[in-house]
Chain A
Amino acid sequence: SAVISQKPSRDICQRGTSLTIQCQVDSQVTMMFWYRQQPGQSLTLIATANQGSEATYESGFVIDKFPISRPNLTFSTLTVSNMSPEDSSIYLCSVVNRGLYEQYFGPGTRLTVT
């Protein structure tokens, strides 16, 4: 399985500011995703990070709020912009292998907005 790392692991931010989360994979992967997980809740897909092109966002998520980059097959960033307390959550990077079956998750970034 792919080894996925995320930075930072946690952060406390003030409302109105932005935070960029980095996701690094130890091997080239076909697909990368960003998820959000509220405490005690399931996983909600924010967007699919497309290599070299604009991300594909799910309903309820927009590029201005969650800009995503994926410059190559092993790295992606998610920015949470103009944060409010409602953005407090765990953000997880996820990858799918070349066979398009097994999906793995990064350790997550715990974000608290005050």
Chain B
Amino acid sequence: NAGVTQTPKFQVLKTGQSMTLQCAQDMNHNSMYWYRQDPGMGLRLIYYSASEGTTDKGEVPNGYNVSRLNKREFSLRLESAAPSQTSVYFCASSEVPSETQYFGPGTRLLVL
């Protein structure tokens, strides 16, 4: 089992460009999450999907959109990247929202 995988590992964007971060899990989990991690700020929830077909905003959703493509895949889209979105992005999954979350290795995004 690969667990939670994320692509790409690292990306550089120019302000205004768009991109999609991909996440997939092979643990048959129902719930998936996107976090961003910034120095001194901890892990902040951007969006989550409690189950296939549902998505909900987290603490910092502005500037992002998500798609729960199927049970395995949950993507995060930046429509018009801004330097404030420079961060490390983590995807996670869990059986249900109340259970242990398993994290992917992260995507490092630099917006110039």
State whether these chains interact.
no
Residues of B within 8 A of A (CB): none
